[in-house]
Amino acid sequence: MVARALLYVEEFFGTAEISPIGLARDIWALLLLLQRPYIFRILDVPTFGFLKVDFNGSMADDGRGKGVGFVIRDHEFKLVATGGQRIFDSSVVCVELKAAWEGISYAKRTLGADRIILEGDSATVIDWIRGRGRAGKGRPLLLDIRGLLQEYGAHQATHVYREVNCAADWVTSYATHHSGSFI
């Protein structure tokens, strides 16, 4: 699974010009990319000593299957870890929060990371993690995320566009449709 995800990321980010023939499948809603003449963002490599945690939540088209996933890379942009899991939370926001928690928790508890850059394609969830807006207040999972982030020496939460978050999206999509346990 990891090798396939890496090939997908390499194909995506290695393409300077995109044509409808360039990417054969639209399994993960890449139609927007086919409509763009170029890739509009270059990968941001994390600062030395930081791990980059990309997370994503997904819901199957029928609304019954949901999944979370994350991809963790080091300062040289090498893959450190990836994980995904099928879950049964009720809302898209809860799924995104769970994905963020899984990535943050894995980086801290399993990898012993002290500095992370957290990236997700849900502007709402990123704003809540940063402490902006009232709607997220009182959510236990959000409070857990903030508590975990306080354990880090340094952290940053950044919103990225969906097209940039494609590796985490792939892991999440796979977990949503194929697994009941953590990958």
Where residue 117 sits, what CATH number does that domain have? Answer: 3.30.420.10
Least confident of 61-70, 109-118, 132-141: 132-141
Structural domain contains residue 10: no
Structural domain contains residue 7: no
- Mean pLDDT value across the chain: 76
Structural domain contains residue 25: no
Helices 123-130 & 140-150 angle (0-180, nearest 10): 60
What residues form DSSP beta bridges with 68?
57, 85
Structural domain contains residue 24: no
* Number of domains observed in the structure of the chain: 1
pLDDT band at 162 (very low <50, low <70, confident <90, very high): confident
pLDDT band at 48 (very low <50, low <70, confident <90, very high): confident
Per cent of the chain over pLDDT 70 is 70
Structural domain contains residue 8: no
Give the pLDDT of residue 99. 93
Give the pLDDT of residue 180. 59
Domain span including residue 123: 44-178
Structural domain contains residue 39: no
Structural domain contains residue 112: yes
Give the pLDDT of residue 161. 85
Task: Name the more confident of 171 and 12.
Answer: 171
